[in-house]
Structure 1
Amino acid sequence: MDFSLTDEQRMLADTLERLIADRVAPDQRRAMLEAPANERSALWRTFAELGLLHLPFAEEVGGLGGDGTDLMLIMRALGRGLVPDPYLAGLVLPGDLLARLGDAGQQARWLAPLLEGEHQLALAWQERDARYDAHGIVTTARRDEDGWRLNGGKQLVLNATSAAALLVTARHDDGRLGLFVVPADATGLTRRDYRTIDDQTASDMTLDAVSLSDDACLSRDAAQTLDATLALGRAALCAEAVGAMEVACEQTLDYLKERRQFGKPLSSFQSLQHRMVDMHLHLEQARSMAILAATSLDCPAAERDYRLAAAKAYCGEAARFVAEQAIQLHGGMGMTDECHVSHYAKHLVMFDHYLGDSDHHLEHVSDHLVDVM
């Protein structure tokens, strides 16, 4: 099968790589991380001007009709630059749900400004007892006069601190899974904000009798759509991890060539050469799995979820391996904040936990192995 890129896709990849290399040097990245939560970065505004915020969405909702491969190229470039802007958490995941489920009024209110870069959103779906199970939701949604009342809690809500609104999953009385748009300043919504080890902004939230209007409900039966959106997110994460692994391998090899011991560069020692080969083998296999993930999004649901679980499980294991080897081959300095590879390593370790870790997805692969054969 031919996986070569079109001329337009190669131009997209080259443009993004140059742009990010120019805008997200280590000192610039630190300034972006320390900026106020409600302030859009100059890079995000540039993304809006170039149409990169529109690209992953269908033309029918104001997008540019990009496919899984286009998203893979964007996320790989973001991973290479370790870009802190929440392209996946603040744009792709909530935007995809709005594009699939929102009516014209809801899309005009929330999706159109999102694509123009005027605000960001967040998806709140994970809960303490449900872990990575999108169907184990216990947050409740009950009718309240002419609206809704939500009660429950969410964990690890990425980008909640910068979001104008949150898309929240909640269980109806009849057992179906609903999806609601909750303004960030809604009464009864409280957050505990923190940063993950790779500097992502995240929040744990409590919803205590949050009152919403009737049109805040995007769907009363969103389970299948949520599965499709999370599959898209997992494909995007695999591509982002590949980009980060590429740079971790490059920086480690450069270090081994520069660092000398016993009068020779470290790269001349055969044992270290073998470890670099192992890192590249994991990288190349992860790249293949990321391509599989990006090209499987239009498959039937069962086959799509099986392929995405396999890809996410392998990329998670490969990301941890590359991170650990990069740190060990750099020695003690690899753990310091001044050594940029340490930031890639932390991001690669955390990648495995976003949208389901390797154990979770391997269990899915094991449970459904017979079904897809």
Structure 2
Amino acid sequence: MDFSLSDEQRMLADTLDRLMADRVSPEQRRTMLEAPAGARSPLWQTFAELGLLHMPFTEEVGGLGGDGTDLMIIMQALGRGLVPEPYLAGLVLPGELLARLGDAEQRERWLTPLLEGEHQLALAWQENDARYDAHGISTTARRDGDGWRLDGHKQLVFNAASALAMLVTARLDDGRLGLFVVPADTTGLSRHDYRTIDDQLASDLTLDAIALTNDACLGLDAAQALDATQALGRAALCAEAVGAMEVACQQTLDYLKERRQFGTPLSAFQSLQHRMVDMHLHLEQARSMAILATTSLALADNERDYRIAAAKAYCGEAARFIAEQAIQLHGGMGMTEECYVSHYAKRLVMFDHYLGDVDHHLEYVSDHLLNVA
């Protein structure tokens, strides 16, 4: 198969690489991380001006009709730049659900300004007892007059502190999975913010007798749309991890070439050469699996989820391996904030836990193979 990029896709990749080099230096990234939650980001506005916010969505909902390869190019560039902007959590995941489930009025209210960069959203699906099972949740949604009442807790909601509204999954009385738009200022919604190990801002939410109007309901049977959206998110994460792994490998190799011991560059030692080869083998295999995930998005649900689970499992293992090797080959300084490879390492470790870790996806792959045997 031909996996080469088109001329337009190469131009997109080159534009993104230049943008990351100009706008996301280590110092600029630190400034972004220290900005108050909800502050209007100049880089996010640049994304909007370049059409990057419209790219992953179909023309029917106001997007540019980009495919999985276009999203892969964007996510790889964001991974290489270690960009802290919530492109996946604040745009792709909630936007995809709005595109799939929202009616014309709901898309006009929430999706159109999202694509224009006027606000951001967040997806609240994960719960403590359910772990990575998006369907085994305990948050409930019950009819309350002409509207709805939501009760429950959500965990590890990325970008909630900057979101104008959260898309919240809840179990209905008949057992189906509903999806609701909960504005950030809704009475009864409380939020506990914290930083994850890779400096991302996440939140735990408590929904205490939240009252919503009927038009806040995006869907009363959202399970299939949520599965498809999470599959898209996992494919995007694999691409982002490949970008971060590329830089971690390159920075480690550069360090081994510069650092000298007994008058000899560390890169001349054969044992260290072997470890660098192992890092690059994991990188290239992860790249192949990321391409597999991207090209599987249009398949039937079961085959799509199986392939993307296999890709996420391998990319998670490769990300952790490269992170550990990068730290070890840098020595003690690799653990310091001043050594930039440590930030890539933390991001790669966190990647494994977002939208399902290695163990979760290996179990899914194993169950799939047993069922088809």
TM range (shorter): over 0.9
Any idea what SS the aligned residue of 1:40 has?
coil
Cα-to-partner distance string for 1:48-70 (whole Å, 9 max, x where unaligned): 00110000000000000001110
Alignment match, 2:265: 265
Alignment match, 2:317: 317
Alpha-carbon separation, structure 1, partners of 2:323 and 2:169: 33
Q: What code does the residue aligned with 2:85 have?
A: D
Mapping of residues 284-323 of structure 1, within 5 Å: 284-323=284-323
Mapped pair 1:211 → 2:211: yes
Mapping of residues 239-278 of structure 1, within 5 Å: 239-278=239-278
Q: Is the 8 A contact 1:16 1:77 kept in 2?
A: yes
Q: What code does the residue aligned with 1:365 have?
A: V
Alpha-carbon separation, structure 2, partners of 1:224 and 1:63: 22
Alignment match, 1:181: 181
Mapped pair 1:24 → 2:24: yes
TM-score of the superposed pair, with normalisation by structure 1: 0.99
Alignment match, 1:361: 361
Q: What code does the residue aligned with 2:101 have?
A: L
Q: What code does the residue aligned with 1:63 have?
A: G
Alignment match, 2:138: 138
Q: Is the 8 A contact 1:303 1:372 kept in 2?
A: no
Q: Is the 8 A contact 1:9 1:70 kept in 2?
A: yes
Mapping of residues 65-214 of structure 1, within 5 Å: 65-214=65-214
Q: What code does the residue aligned with 2:266 have?
A: L
Alignment match, 1:340: 340
Aligned residues: 373
Residue 372 of structure 1 and its aligned partner are, at CA, apart by: 5.2
TM-score of the superposed pair, with normalisation by structure 2: 0.99
Residue 343 of structure 1 and its aligned partner are, at CA, apart by: 0.1
4+ runs deviating over 3 angstroms: 370-373
Residue 370 of structure 1 and its aligned partner are, at CA, apart by: 4.0
Alpha-carbon separation, structure 1, partners of 2:47 and 2:39: 15
Residue 295 of structure 1 and its aligned partner are, at CA, apart by: 0.5
Structure 1: tracts of 5 or more residues without a match: none
Alpha-carbon separation, structure 1, partners of 2:279 and 2:31: 31
Mapped pair 1:13 → 2:10: no
- Kindly tell me: are residues 372 and 5 of structure 1, through their superposed partners in 2, closer, same or farther at Cα, counting changes over 3 Å? farther
Any idea what SS the aligned residue of 1:39 has?
coil
Residue 39 of structure 1 and its aligned partner are, at CA, apart by: 1.1
Residue 36 of structure 1 and its aligned partner are, at CA, apart by: 1.2
Any idea what SS the aligned residue of 2:117 has?
coil
Cα-to-partner distance string for 1:319-369 (whole Å, 9 max, x where unaligned): 000000000000000000000000000000000000000000000000001
Q: What code does the residue aligned with 1:227 have?
A: D
Alpha-carbon separation, structure 1, partners of 2:172 and 2:21: 47
Alpha-carbon separation, structure 2, partners of 1:39 and 1:244: 26
Residue 40 of structure 1 and its aligned partner are, at CA, apart by: 2.2
Alignment match, 1:2: 2
Q: What code does the residue aligned with 2:146 have?
A: D
Alpha-carbon separation, structure 2, partners of 1:40 and 1:69: 28
Q: Is the 8 A contact 1:54 1:64 kept in 2?
A: yes
Alpha-carbon separation, structure 2, partners of 1:85 and 1:262: 43
Any idea what SS the aligned residue of 1:369 has?
helix
Alignment match, 2:50: 50
Please report the RMSD computed on the Cα atoms of aligned residues, expressed in angstroms. 0.7
Residue 38 of structure 1 and its aligned partner are, at CA, apart by: 1.1
Cα-to-partner distance string for 1:114-157 (whole Å, 9 max, x where unaligned): 00000000000000110000110110000011100000000000
Cα-to-partner distance string for 1:13-37 (whole Å, 9 max, x where unaligned): 1100110111000000000000111
Q: What code does the residue aligned with 2:298 have?
A: D
Any idea what SS the aligned residue of 1:169 has?
strand
Residue 371 of structure 1 and its aligned partner are, at CA, apart by: 4.2
Any idea what SS the aligned residue of 1:193 has?
strand
Q: What code does the residue aligned with 1:66 have?
A: G
Q: Is the 8 A contact 1:180 1:216 kept in 2?
A: yes
Alpha-carbon separation, structure 1, partners of 2:308 and 2:136: 20
Q: Identity across aligned pairs (percent)?
A: 83
Structure 2: tracts of 5 or more residues without a match: none
Q: What code does the residue aligned with 1:251 have?
A: Q
